[in-house]
Structure 1
């Protein structure tokens, strides 16, 4: 290894420390907490704004007989005359029918008092759902959902017997039925529609069933081990029948024998094994399913982002690096898939903390106060850390976007890099950007580590103090706080003992730990929000060129194209055109010439509405082109760009890029006019020859002729050619121009106009009208002979300079 390589390797190693800040990020590319402009509300709004891209996977779409699945996303509750008026009545009947038929006991003892109260609440608020709108409907929906969730939890956890579980489950399914199947009464009968494609509902429904299954299996195994195996108590009748041990039912005997206990000890193992065999394929399916759903959400956001980029004018694209756009599409848009994870985990954790804190407070208000006190240092740390999470996340994302731009620009300029032996310099620049991106991410992770150390430290102290208090109370059998509430909650801890200590310690540690975990998840939410911010920064941009209200389609060109006092500037300090006036009639070729930077390409870009003029009017047949829809206008204009952009596809596909359904006759005609036959004969597969990236295996002249063919095949009334023959030899140029003139003089010649931007005198002199631009103004216009007759004329001087012949006239 030479000394230079060794020094560079050491410098790179020093930039990646084991601990510490690492190499500093340049001040121009760094942000501090003072630069943060997003507070709590802004983060919540950014997360909420992802709903339009998540909602299709929640709300799904409607399937209707004879119509199929609609393209539009389904309504949240009801709409378009469809409703679920049958649902409240059906829920009410079932809610009364089960107790009336003695399927479930009619009693208001605990826990049935809670269960029936929740069911009554769900029944009452199910009626406004199909009959009212607005806030009342939304509140009713929330109350029905919460009531049924809590009722099902009580039925599963606190109530013995299968009937009550079927009761609450049936009511829940009927409510879901109203959401999934809706009807509409019409004079001819009843129409219905079915909600399909609600993938997130399907997924979380399966997850809920899996969770209930885990809870049920846990309760069953605990019942078998604690009550039957260890304490000789017989099985509950329903459980004994379910497990296949009817002889061990409480209805058959009072106490289990030793042999029965030994036989029963294998039951939990069999149950767990059966549950594992059922759960294993389900877990694999759910993992695949949620990845598929999240990718659909990400896909929708990416499509919206790319669609927005297509709508933005070239003024925006010229001021932004390509790598930044790639990073926003590829990486920043991915953060939308994390929104549900963040919000879901935060919601579950908050509910667990509140419920656990409430139960612990019943046992000891002091422990409840300690849990509440945990919020104080948590809020203080969050106030310090969250702005830093946001700014460091932005710096990290911008640094990675810059690195992507560096890679893209390096590959695009690889020929130039090799020609000038600039590989080492290019490598050094890449290493610098790579280290900045690495250290930006490293700083972000290091901040998360610091916050974790702080929160884990004070939470450990608070947990230790609380556990010591519980141990002290248990050792002296201190009475618990609210005995009546404890009994109401279904607990039996009247005094502090070993059982109370173990139960409370687990939940106390869990509550304090969850508060710290909420802090971690909220820190993650800042990164998600910053990714969404970079996405919505683009989506919120108003396209500079867009259809005006009431825009009409452009259909034909018959009279003239007119520029009247047109002015344009890319920025206030960069004026390009100033008061341009020109007229182009059908059947003519207009050549636009002038020195570099005079605004020639900008002029034709304005006609194509890649930009809109800052002043003046561009009209076709007396109609301002801004009155036409953008798509219809561009559909009738073809352009051969100066850059000769080609794609990594076949020559055939490059030619018909703008007309994918072009037939062979049109392709062959475009090939003939562009004089591509000889080139195709040298290709191994002719028109089906695959090109490399940007057509790198072709000469500039060959690429230019493919670009001309691509413009011709559109067969539009307006053709824009930007330096169309600059890289062609004289003979090929002559043949291409003759073919173009012949093409322009076909049966539709009265409807076609051609604009040429060129420096080639042989091309210019064939034009019907020549416009000479200087400093953004048309200073001379006319045909070749007229302009050459102007003594000391700018065009005359231009021709002499280009031809090298001062006697040329």
Structure 2
């Protein structure tokens, strides 16, 4: 089993690897911030020297023989040292402010680019991945975990590096002033490193559990809010609250443990600073009495020790932050490590004028091992033909729609467009040739016009209005005060099912693709909307290769040919007028497992 140190190093490398591609673009900002922080180190090193000069000068003026031939105290010297102190502190503050702003801006830009990269990656993942993952947890990784990564390389990482430089610089000056005092400070640094080495791994593990708990919490909240109608209708509030409360309590415990470990490291550092200060007071005072140091030297050593311990305190603070951010980085890296299953081939077939011939040849597919959905299904649709695919629930009809859009790839067999295997063509181009109308009309927040325009974003206003007219959307928007510019609430909750479906059909009209796939387009609609949607489908299908998956007899009768799919196979196909639709569609699922007599 790998050691905690090894796991921690591996996790940190993965996290930094996520950020590395985005750092070159922020080179000027990060270099400028680093330069200002190095200047701040210089001012920190110089800050106690005016105090040393004043203490030594006053001591000489009171009659002490320091043996170094320095100047006595004068008003001019005191004024110069006071002005020098104000100037040094002011310059240090300006450098710190500039560095903070530059690092914050650079870190925000890196996080924004990484978040966009992760979002783009998530959109490439297959339907199988999204079907098996929890959307709330994915959103948590995309939004919250990416934000925390700023603390690794920018908010904590760069200041941490500069604090190390400050520590080294001050140890060097202390060694020049007095080697004994330098040794005391060095012992404190070594002790801190031992503390942090034993604590950081435990902080990382606790933080990893915290982020996992928070992901579960986000998923429960998202599921409950999405299903609020069902929750309230079935009075499930207490049950959902129990689930949420359990995850909330677990998240609290894991979070408190991570913070307790980080706070323990910081407090141990405070004790270490106190012990080091006491040692310097005793040893330094003794060396002043023996003449090995001046009182000003002791002041500067104490000031340096206090200033040098500030980086140690920051190291403790940033170590905890980095451990927590590394846990978030692992979650983001895990998400980016998921390989898209459906991708464009390295050398795709060149685009061609699509005629619309669609074929499935010996297609087999199983969502889970040993649970086949399609069993050697074969189907040919001629260019411009209107085909209805019917069958009992669970027979694999909707899977055919997903295959035609290459949302899935078959385990065996081939899905082709105009005789070309879909796996050999550019994925974006392929999907531009197919318009999908799904039974669950997905609408996004925006206006009705915005949602129609998603069919073809570069369409003109006139083309959008014509698509709305053809899809019978204008039949209800004419009575809305804002017309097509009416706002759509989340999920289209302020529209009826029929209105949402007609907007989905308008998208397909606007897309004007040669192949049309409709998956249960009239399911759940009232009779009036069924008539409107059916009429719109008739107009939309004209001149296009159309595959409609349906349970509705009237919708199936509109097709030229009906294909019956049962138990993952084609068991009947022929003219719509001869199709045994009433028997197939009225049977319950159990009875429908007995296949029809096969007709070629």
TM-score (norm 1): 0.64
Q: Give the corresponding residue for 2:481.
A: 684
1:115-144 deviation line (CA, Å, top 9, x unaligned): xxxxxxxxxxxxxxxxxxxxxxxxxxxxxx
Partner of 2:31: 201
Asked whether the 8 Å contact 2:563–2:573 carries over to 1, the reply is yes
Residue of structure 2 in register with 1:759 after alignment = 551
Residues 174-323 of structure 1: matches in 2 within 5 Å?
A: 198-208=28-38, 287-323=100-136
Find 1:334's aligned residue among 147, 161, 178. 147
Instruction: State the alpha-carbon separation in 2 of the partners of residues 45 and 227 from structure 1.
Output: 53
Asked if residue 55 in structure 1 is aligned to residue 24 in structure 2, the reply is yes
CA apart distance, 1:604: 0.9
Question: CA distance change for structure 1 residues 217 and 708 in 2, over 3 Å: closer, same or farther?
Answer: same
Q: What is the distance in 2 between the residues matched to 1:450 and 1:271?
A: 38
Distance 1:549 1:697 in 2: 44
CA distance in 2, matches of 1:37, 1:615: 43
User: Is residue 798 of structure 1 aligned with residue 589 of structure 2?
Assistant: no
Q: Are 1:673 and 2:459 counterparts?
A: no
Please show how residues 675-754 of structure 1 align to structure 2 within 5 Å: 675-730=472-527, 732-745=529-542, 749=543, 752-754=544-546
Matched, 1:558 2:372: no
* SS of structure 1 residue aligned to 2:446: coil
Question: Which segments of 5 or more consecutive residues in structure 1 lack a partner in the other structure?
Answer: 1-32, 59-197, 233-254, 478-494, 789-794, 803-809
CA contact (8 A) 2:498 2:529 kept: no
Indicate yes or no: 2:464 matched with 1:634.
no
Taking the aligned partners of 1:315 and 1:612, their CA distance within structure 2 comes to 11
Q: Shift of residue 631 of structure 1?
A: 0.5
Rate the CA distance shift 1:563–1:522 in 2: closer, same or farther, 3 A: same
Unaligned runs of 5+ in 2: 62-70, 589-600
Which residue in the other structure is 1:324 paired with?
Answer: 137
Identify if the C-alpha distance between structure 1 residues 686 and 522 changes in structure 2 by more than 3 Å, giving closer, same or farther: same
Asked if the contact 2:518–2:548 (Cα under 8 Å) also holds between the matched residues in 1, the reply is: yes
Note closer, same or farther for the CA distance 1:277–1:456 as it changes in structure 2 (3 Å cut): closer
| CA distance in 2: counterparts of 1:207 and 1:646, whole angstroms | 49
CA positional deviation for 1:475: 3.2
Measured on the aligned residues, the alpha-carbon RMSD in Å equals 3.6
SS at match of 1:616: strand
Relative distance call for 1:387 and 1:266 in structure 2 (3 A) is closer
C-alpha distance in structure 1 between counterparts of 2:161 and 2:94, whole Å: 28
Q: Is 2:571 the partner of 1:779?
A: yes
Q: Would the aligned equivalents of 1:392 and 1:444 in 2 still touch at CA under 8 Å?
A: yes
For residues 270 and 90 of structure 2, the distance between their equivalents in structure 1, rounded to whole angstroms, comes to 37
Q: Contact 2:184–2:279 at 8 Å: present in 1 too?
A: no
Q: Secondary structure at 2:413's aligned position in 1?
A: strand
Call closer, same or farther: CA 1:571–1:672 in 2, change over 3 Å.
same
Q: Does the Cα contact within 8 Å between 1:229 and 1:264 map onto a contact in 2?
A: no
Over 3 Å counting, the alpha-carbon distance change for 1:709 and 1:542 in structure 2 is same
**For residues 291-690 of structure 1, what are the structure 2 equivalents within 5 Å?**
291-338=104-151, 339-358=153-172, 360=174, 371-374=185-188, 378=192, 380-458=194-272, 460-461=274-275, 463-465=277-279, 467-477=281-291, 495-508=292-305, 511=308, 514-515=311-312, 517-558=314-355, 560-690=357-487
TM-score relative to the length of structure 2: 0.85
> Partners in 2 of 1:355 and 1:681 — Cα distance?
75
Quote the Cα distance in structure 1 between the aligned partners of 2:112 and 2:322: 21
In the alignment, the residues of structure 2 paired with residue 531 and residue 721 of structure 1 have an alpha-carbon distance, to the nearest angstrom, of 41
CA distance in 2, matches of 1:665, 1:443: 60
Paired with 2:4 and 2:200, the residues of 1 have a C-alpha distance of: 12
User: Does the residue aligned with 2:513 lie in a helix, a strand or coil?
Assistant: coil
What is the distance in 1 between the residues matched to 2:88 and 2:531?
81
For 2:174 and 2:84, how far apart are their aligned partners in 1?
32
SS of 1:331's partner is helix
Instruction: Say whether the 8 Å CA contact 1:378–1:516 is kept in structure 2.
Output: no
CA deviation map 1:487-522 (0-9, x unaligned): xxxxxxxx2443443333444555566456534433
Shift of 1:618: 0.7
Instruction: Using the TM superposition, give the Cα deviation of residue 368 of structure 1 relative to its aligned residue in structure 2, in angstroms.
Output: 5.4
Give the structure 2 partner of residue 236 of structure 1.
none
Deviation of 1:779 after TM superposition, in Å, equals 2.4
Of stretches 434-443 and 355-364 in structure 1, the one that deviates more from structure 2 is: 355-364
CA distance in 2, matches of 1:380, 1:217: 30
Give the deviation of 1:736 after TM superposition.
3.6
Conservation of the 8 A alpha-carbon contact between 1:313 and 1:543: yes
| Deviation (angstroms), 1:600 | 1.7
Higher RCO (CA < 8 A, seq sep 6+): 2
Cα deviation, residue 738, structure 1: 4.0
- C-alpha distance 512-199 of structure 1, shift in aligned 2 (>3 A): closer
Question: Take 1:723 and 1:770, find their aligned partners in 2: how far apart are those partners?
Answer: 14
Q: 1:22-43: per-residue Cα shift (whole Å, max 9, x none)?
A: xxxxxxxxxxx99997232442
C-alpha spacing 1:579/1:713, structure 2 compared with 1 (3 Å) = same
What is the distance in 2 between the residues matched to 1:592 and 1:472? 96
Kindly provide the CA deviation profile for residues 579-608 of structure 1, in whole angstroms up to 9, marking residues without a partner as x.
Answer: 111111111112122222222222111211
Separation in 2, partners of 1:351, 1:217? 16
Contact persistence 1:561–1:583 (CA under 8 A):
yes
Segment drifting more, 689-698 vs 448-457: 448-457
Aligned equivalents of 1:458, 1:726: Cα separation in 2: 71
- 1:38 alignment partner, SS class: helix
